[in-house]
Chains A and B, each alone.
Chain A
Amino acid sequence: MFSMRFQLLPQACLLLLTCFVAWAVGSSAPAGERAADFFSRHDSGSGHTNNWAVLVCASRYWFNYRHMANALGMYRTVKRLGIPDSNIILMLADDVACNARNKFAGSVYAEAGRHLDLYGENIEVDYRGYEVTVENFIRLLTGRVDPSMPRSKRLLTDDHSNIFVYMTGHGGNEFLKFQDQEEISAFDIADAFEQMWQKKRYNEILFMIDTCQANTMYSQIYSPNILATGSSQIEENSYSYENDNDIGVSVIDSYTHYVLKFMEGINKTSQASMQDLFDSYDPVKIYSHPGIRSDLFRRPLDKTLITDFFGGIAQAEAFPLQDIVGSSNHHENDPTPPTSQKPDTPSVPVVLSPTVVSLPRLTGETHAWDNRWKEVRKWTSIFVVGCLVSWVSFVR
């Protein structure tokens, strides 16, 4: 009987081991929840970890200078708010800065006094000239590009990316004209976004379009988590804002001009919401009725920050386990890591956003206890496995 028990013993130990492993795995589920909680703590719950921007100017020729200036104004805005060049895809269908007709070589201006040069010295245009086609745009969005396409021309997004897609050019009822030769329709864009959703290529998209009858372009989108806004309704034109007499053509479109003016007041740490941007739309000044489509967007607009789409800063925060509730306001610009009482917690520089009203002490202590428990479990399981292995080898 005793020998029979011994024969059964390896199987029993194996059973015990699997039960142990299952329990260990099952109790680590809160780790996933804690990661999600960490990422969503200080943003408005969008759950994004990186930002991308796709800025398309689809018109060619000198007299469409304003479309180039529109796209470049958005480029400078997203760059200023933190999205790096590697995450921006800029498509300009023509070159106006170094055009022979441009009196101010190497510069593109968006207002009549020519105070601010949008081209600058540090610019990367990913698709230029004849490369701006409907096929390249849809391939870029869906990721179905030729293997020879270089990295800087690909949209390398994942399911935690927020993408800002801006398109400008000449358009009409559910179409946008690319380079006076071909058109992209609202259905094409809707299908491209749906492919992106199926392939988990975005977390949320802000689709902004400035053309004539722009609101029709987003009317056919059917994928979730897309917020869309356009410059004019059906049967309405979008107008340019002003001319510059030395450049000789219109330099900016009305809708984009007012959006950029609103963006001038936004910086990287701004807490302004998308609802503020949409409230600033004034159909009288813009000479057309901008539209908003938010039925596919799951978050409330007044809780959605502008920097969720236009900015590129991910807010990271690490908690040293001391009482920092009272001193959170002093730590705003503190580069040195605060001393921690628990030696095994890694001390990293603390970056706090100015409006943190959190309870770091409670959650910090909870974290420490969780860590402790994890350590205990880890060592216990290693000990048990070690015992089993040594016992088996001893028996053999």
Chain B
Amino acid sequence: MRRASVWIFLAYLCTPSFALYRKEIYKEDLRIQSLRDGQVSTTFSFVTVLEGAGPRNPKALGQRDESQHYALFPLTLGQILREYAITELHLTLNAGKWNYDNWGHPHEAGVGTGAELWAWMGASEVTTVDERWSGLRNALSGLFCASLGSLDSRRTLSPTVAFPLSGSTPTFSPHELRHASLPSENVCTENLTPFLKLLPCKSHAGLATLLNPQKVFDADWHGMGVHVIWKEDTGIELKLSLQTVFNPVRTSAGKRRDWNLQSLFDRSIERSCPVASSSSITVILPEGKDHKITPENPSYMDGLAIYDLSSSSNFTIPSNIAMYWPSEHSFQYRKSLSVPLPPLTPITPLSVKRTIHGTTQTRGVLSVSVTNNSPQEISVGYLEMMPALITMWMHTLKVEINSQIRSDLLSELKYHPPSPQSNDRFSPSMLQAVLTIPPKTTLKISMEVNKAFLKYTEHPPDAMRGWDLPGAVFFPLSQLSHNTSSSYDWERIYTPTLLVDLPTPDFSMPYNVIILSCTLMTLIFGSIFNLLTRKWVVMEIQE
């Protein structure tokens, strides 16, 4: 008996702990593109791949997890993903309005204003998807200093067609989607600070040294994104992206559209990140020959100039990549002194606009217009996720081209009205349809809406500002084939957000009512009390 215990003890000492050390790859890339209206779009993407790893099986959530050892993958995010058994996660924090007509499609498709969070999770009886969604929101709000905790059931939906799984689908359980957006979320340095802390080299080395918050948040559009995707053959891929659209014409002294890294970011890259397997700056060269790019010797590849910044290349660091137009004085976008110029065709085949108009505070008309700029007919999906503040009346839904009703162009209409959730709240309503737009025409969809009358405690502190409504999403129908009639590959188009004025009560009325009624009661009670009890007595005053 004693001998057996001794042997067991020795065996325990000799057993190594089978922790898995996975291979991790880190790549960083910066794409810079000069847009046709003189602005410069920069897209940083920092990709960390955890090879051979897979998402956690949600059925095993009650049990102890295998130990996670990361060298480059951020531990804080990895712990959140394991804790809630998340298969795919997308979080974007954007500010501004993406101008599809002049800027084209962004490199990262999630450009909806404000915060947008969506996650695919496997179903499980141990903890429900909704509980894990709530835990995920709060954990990410603590990690990124964003108020994502308010993305509760009032803003959560499941639009599986427009937001499909980008990676592989695990087989252990059927997966569900949770999507929520908060268009009024502000993005500032406190969101960038934890974002940079997720990178292996943080902001000390590599491309992330360029991220100067005073310049990034001065851009005309900026957004950061966290995307976690599982691909069966590679593993878990974490992509941290930061897109900005700078305006050198506004910020430069001579109103020129020349740019260089120093003028855009006010920083220079001192060192390359030693753990990056590839680190490069790709400049998408504009058409025409009147621009010049320095340094002179990048590697060219069909319209791209690639500068390899990794330590193995012979590219000298620090360096300043610059593009300038030597023959231009100041950049004039479409200004001609003599003739009015015709409008430029938008870069994207689809242009979208959305408004709510109406004169009363109770009713309005929601109107969405989609323009097909290409010579072929296009079929797109249209998704509207409207918070329960706005009630859309389906019987007033009209599809028109030039005031002519064309109901045949709208098909496969699906509408989910707001459903009551726990604690007296309503989920958003979801409207999904397929639109077929003939070439070179503008399709207009309109429907009447009612604005909700909220209880006075439900209004935010700045109630007079109004409520932000998330943008509608247009998505391509066939996700699988890449050689459809459109010669480009796009994921989603977001309309701008809307600000709607709901009827607000007079917030001073509770105070007024209390004051007035208390005064009246005091006067009435006081008068009656005095009448009943006060006695007038003659008193002698001694001199």
Contact = CB atoms under 8 A, between A and B. Distances in A.
A104 B212 CA distance: 13
Contact of B186 (A122, A129, A148, A151): A129
B145 A97 contact: no
A358 B167 CA distance: 66
B155 to A, nearest CB: 13
A124 B194 CA distance: 8
Given A106-B216, A119-B189, A98 B135 contact: no
A130 B139 contact: no
B489 interface: no
B190 A125 contact: yes
A384 interface: no
Contacts of A121: 189, 192-193, 203, 212-213
A63 B460 CA distance: 19
A313 to B, nearest CB: 23
B142 A151 contact: yes
Contacts of B215: 106
A104 B189 CA distance: 13
Given A104-B214, A125-B145, A97 B461 contact: no
B217 interface: yes
A148 B461 contact: no
Contact of B189 (A123, A126, A153): A123
Given A98-B95, A106-B216, A121-B213, A128 B461 contact: no
B515 to A, nearest CB: 16
Given A98-B186, A123-B190, A128 B145 contact: yes
B186 A95 contact: yes
B436 interface: no
B188 A95 contact: yes
Nearest to A61: B462
**Chain B interface bracket (under 10, 10 to 19, 20 to 34, 35 or more):** 20 to 34
A97 B145 CA distance: 15
B232 interface: no
B253 to A, nearest CB: 16
A188 to B, nearest CB: 18
Contact of B142 (A60, A106, A119, A150): A150
A374 B398 CA distance: 90
Contacts of A126: 142, 145
Given A95-B186, A121-B193, A124-B194, A105 B218 contact: yes
Q: Which size class do A's interface residues fall under?
A: 20 to 34
Contacts of B460: 130
B143 interface: yes
A349 interface: no
Nearest to B188: A98
A181 interface: yes
Contacts of B146: 128
A229 to B, nearest CB: 28
B138 interface: yes
A97 B217 contact: yes
B149 interface: yes
A149 interface: yes
A179 B461 contact: yes
A93 B216 CA distance: 23
Contacts of B461: 60, 93, 130, 179-181
A248 interface: no
A106 B214 contact: yes
Interface string A52-86: 00000000110000000000000000000000000
Contacts of A179: 461-462
Contact of B150 (A95, A104, A105, A130): A130
A17 B147 CA distance: 61
Interface string B502-515: 00000100000000
A131 interface: yes
Interface in A95-124: 95, 97-99, 104-107, 117, 119-124
B187 A122 contact: no
A97 to B, nearest CB: 5
A106 B186 contact: no
Given A107-B214, A125-B190, A180-B462, 12 more contacts: A95-B186, A98-B189, A105-B214, A106-B218, A119-B189, A121-B189, A121-B192, A126-B142, A126-B145, A130-B460, A130-B461, A148-B134
25 contacts: A95-B188, A97-B217, A98-B186, A98-B189, A105-B214, A106-B189, A106-B215, A106-B218, A119-B188, A119-B213, A121-B192, A121-B203, A122-B193, A123-B193, A124-B190, A125-B145, A125-B188, A128-B145, A128-B147, A129-B147, A129-B186, A148-B134, A150-B143, A152-B145, A179-B462
The 7 tightest CB contacts between A and B, nearest first, are A150-B142, A98-B188, A105-B218, A179-B461, A181-B461, A95-B186, A125-B190
